[in-house]
Amino acid sequence: MIVLASASPRRAELLASAGLRFVVVPSSIVEERLPGEPPDVFVRRLAGAKARAVAGARPDGFVLAADTEVMIDGDVLGKPRDDDDARAMLARLSGRVHDVLTGFEVYDVAARRADGGVVRTRVEFAPLGRAEIDAYVATGEPRGKAGGYAIQGRAAGLIRRIDGSYTNVVGLPLREVLETLARMGAL
């Protein structure tokens, strides 16, 4: 059995689109970056912590967890606190290239072993005017999204190009996750 340790409907949709059967058991760990922690180490550590937290209550199966962050100029943007924060994030991303990092882990409960990684995708936003940013924020879509946008939604029209995995930007690097699940014997 595969357990998705995430409340993200986007991650569940991606797994379902690949034809996987799974159950959802969200993790309740605190998602806090340690002082000086590099972003790639941060997302990988959180994915592992989420997987192990959910695995602790299971007798067997495979637990999949992930954490996605948007990074620009060495800063992790996180999820906007409110609409003003979302506007500030979008203004900062406007006309620029940034990285989307997703750390993921598959944990085999019975064997007590884990495998996973970090996937990086480069995303370039088109230059955005204040009215365009305000209109996007007014949709409510930025709420709860790393970097204040959802590439699979209306933000698709704000993005000039991506270099790398599209599903990584959505929140789960599907190809890499499927390879890891297969390698560990979950598929």
Active site amino acids: 67
Q: How many CB atoms lie within 10 A of CB 94?
A: 16
For residue 145, which of 4, 9, 5 has the smallest C-alpha distance? Answer: 9
Q: Which two tokens stand for residue 23?
A: 């159950």
CA distance 32 to 35: 9
Q: Are 181 and 175 in contact (CB under 8 A)?
A: no
CB 96 within 8 A of CB 122: no
